[in-house]
Structure 1
Amino acid sequence: MCSFPLVSVIIPNYNHADFLRQRIESVLKQTYSNFEVFLLDDGSTDGSLEILNQYEEYPRVKAVISNGKNTGSVFRQWVKGINLATGKYLWIAESDDFAHETFLEETVKLAEEHDNAGLVFTDSFNIDEHGNVKGKVSERHTLISSIEQEFYWFDDHTKVPDYFIDNMLILNASSVLFDLKKLRERVDLEQLEQYKNTGDQFAYIALYLKHKMIYLNRPLNYRRIHGRNTTALNFENGIIYKERIDIINYFFSALMKFPASKQAFNNYLRQNFLKVTDFGLFQEIEKLLNRFYKAGYLSFQKYLLLKLYTLITRIAPKQHPYKFRYKIKKVLRNK
């Protein structure tokens, strides 16, 4: 057996006291045993820290670390955990989810057999806040619903725009086992800290541009969907729209060389342009439109109309005619 833990497990928590024990127990009761655990709290106010402190003396728990004040970003906790981790692999086990007892046993086995993979991810059960199962992620996930193999290689790097711009291949970070060395080499940790919601998407793109991914076709993760879910809140306040633009801009030079980018970026505009302008993200979308046009992804007419709509919305957000908005919808639908 290794003299050091092969897997480092990070449990970043903020105000998930209702789910915390189930999450921690599901980690400590894994059938695979060569791991260490870091319990991180981001200034919770709901009694979470009291729960975390009860696990401080458990053999595999290396530390309970609490911020006195909430940082506002789980990805700052990710980076803290990445820097603390000593294992070969990293599991970021989000505090409102939980896992099947063989999650580590099965993902570590695959990762060890395929050293060129940047990550292994599993299928998940969707559950509500009471733990009721609402079906598997794969049942409604167009990118993986047709996969019948026990495990599947994602190794076509030209598909990055399909998998992580036009779609989201990995819907839950708790379902992922990262290769820690590759994660540290490929992901800009300073940039990762800046995100509040889409840091996982940022990390997946950075890894998949250089490394393969393995999908384990077994629901070994339980993905909790509830009213306090950060993603749902960030759709409501517009943060997720801004951060997705930031990600496209960050990776644009790398992505523009792939044939799939044109369709993926046009689909992105069709689905998000009006929402982005409604949230007043004018500088962000104008920068993106300029880059899309220069790269040949937009016709001159479409580019001008979208720029004009952005300008009018910026100057008089409540005064532009409804017919103009309807026209923009039609323009966005056209390829």
Structure 2
Amino acid sequence: MLFSVLIAHYNHFDYFIDCYNSLMQQTYTNFEVVILDDFSNDGSFEKVSEYVKNDSRFRIFRNEKNEGVGFTKGKLIELANGEICGFLDPDDVLTNDAIKISLENYSEKTVATYSQFWFCDQSLNIIRKFPDSYQIKNGDPLFLNIFFTVNHFFTFRKDIYLKTSRISSNYRIAEDQELYLKLYELGDFKFIKKPLLYYRLHDTGLSRDKNKTIQRYAAWNDVLKETLKRRNITKIYGKNITEVDNFATFIHQKQNTILKRIKRKFL
């Protein structure tokens, strides 16, 4: 089975070297790597192209202008040849068995897998394990990934993705959450209780960019609002959705009671 590693790249050549090395060490070797550069302006596209040119498993493309991550990730899936796809950020690193273990966890009903992962510093020294990873309940219309339980390393079946309304190209933030929630509606997610990815925290990473905090929350709120509409949910926790101003805050409060925190702790 061919696995497609999809990399949306922008100005991250220095970190990409570690990412590349982790792919070279995979125990499962029937994979391709599709890289789409979102019009890097620091010479990274040329450097990455040169770095991978001798490996036919790598295919690299470039947007004609900076389009944003929603457009770029959607295009990457279109370019993928594999039955199973997984996004990998160019500044992150996979464990050497990440692809192998992910594929082993697919069954007939499985449409996607996700795993535990490590938070790391800029030099990839482990800081801690992401605390909210566990097996979610499948088929729950009120599962909205409010605690980001579904996270890295996330893989999915391309044929199922093509049955969704696809990633919205206008998202520059929260596009991954939109993808997860759309796929969730079409089948089962399988949790892998093992860290398969090293998530690098650094000053140029999106999660550390304080200037984009407002945009992140706004995009996340839009994703939740559209998900509820798509699922034909008109009332949530006793309120009409038209009465909710901030879905992220409201749902988090309702799903983060003491009782529910205790239940999550023992999952």
TM-score by length of 1: 0.67
The answer on 1:50 being equivalent to 2:52 is no
Q: Secondary structure at the match of 1:77?
A: helix
| Aligned residue number for residue 243 of structure 1 | 219
Query: Structure 1 residues 235, 156: closer, same or farther in 2, change over 3 A?
Result: farther
Aligned partners of 2:193, 2:231: CA distance in 1, in Å? Answer: 28
Aligned partners of 2:214, 2:21: CA distance in 1, in Å? Answer: 34
| Aligned residue number for residue 93 of structure 1 | 88
Residue from 4, 7, 11 that aligns with 1:11: 7
Shift, 1:68, TM fit: 4.3
Residue from 108, 115, 120 that aligns with 2:108: 115
> Residue deviations 1:289-322, cap 9 Å, x none?
x7343xxxx7xxxx9xx9xxxxxxxxxxxxxxxx
> Residue deviations 1:204-246, cap 9 Å, x none?
1111122110010001111111111113337635211221222
Seq. identity, %: 22
Aligned partners of 1:169, 1:246: CA distance in 2, in Å? Answer: 19
The answer on 1:197 being equivalent to 2:173 is yes
Does the Cα contact within 8 Å between 1:154 and 1:215 map onto a contact in 2?
Answer: no
Aligned partners of 1:91, 1:236: CA distance in 2, in Å? Answer: 25
Shift, 1:258, TM fit: 9.3
| Aligned residue number for residue 106 of structure 1 | 101
Most deviating of 10-19 and 43-52: 43-52
Q: Which runs of 5+ in 1 are unaligned?
A: 145-151, 267-289, 307-331
Query: Structure 1 residues 197, 127: closer, same or farther in 2, change over 3 A?
Result: same
Instruction: Say what the alpha-carbon RMSD is for the aligned residues.
Output: 2.7
Aligned partners of 2:160, 2:80: CA distance in 1, in Å? Answer: 13
Residue from 12, 34, 39 that aligns with 1:38: 34
Question: What pairs with 1:174-213 in structure 2 (closer than 5 Å)?
Answer: 175-186=153-164, 188-189=165-166, 192-213=168-189
Does the Cα contact within 8 Å between 1:21 and 1:51 map onto a contact in 2?
Answer: no
Residue from 63, 66, 69 that aligns with 1:67: 63
| Aligned residue number for residue 76 of structure 2 | 81
TM-score by length of 2: 0.83
Q: Which has the larger radius of gyration?
A: 1
| Aligned residue number for residue 250 of structure 2 | none
Aligned partners of 1:216, 1:132: CA distance in 2, in Å? Answer: 22
| Aligned residue number for residue 263 of structure 2 | none
Does the Cα contact within 8 Å between 1:120 and 1:178 map onto a contact in 2?
Answer: yes
Q: Secondary structure at the match of 2:21?
A: helix
Residue from 222, 228, 234 that aligns with 1:252: 228
User: Quick one: higher RCO (CA 8 Å, sep 6+), 1 or 2?
Assistant: 2
Q: Secondary structure at the match of 2:55?
A: coil
Query: Structure 1 residues 154, 48: closer, same or farther in 2, change over 3 A?
Result: farther
Query: Structure 1 residues 235, 207: closer, same or farther in 2, change over 3 A?
Result: farther
Shift, 1:136, TM fit: 0.9
Shift, 1:9, TM fit: 1.4
Shift, 1:59, TM fit: 2.7
Question: What pairs with 1:91-170 in structure 2 (closer than 5 Å)?
Answer: 91-111=86-106, 114-137=107-130, 140-141=131-132, 144=134, 152=135, 154-161=137-144, 164=145, 166-170=146-150
Does the Cα contact within 8 Å between 2:139 and 2:185 map onto a contact in 1?
Answer: no
Q: Which runs of 5+ in 2 are unaligned?
A: 247-252, 258-267
Does the Cα contact within 8 Å between 1:7 and 1:87 map onto a contact in 2?
Answer: yes
Shift, 1:255, TM fit: 4.7
> Residue deviations 1:26-77, cap 9 Å, x none?
123211011111122111123322331120230311x211234322x12211
Letter matched to residue 182 of structure 1: I
Shift, 1:168, TM fit: 1.6
> Residue deviations 1:247-301, cap 9 Å, x none?
1231223456499x428xx8xxxxxxxxxxxxxxxxxxxxxxx7343xxxx7xxx
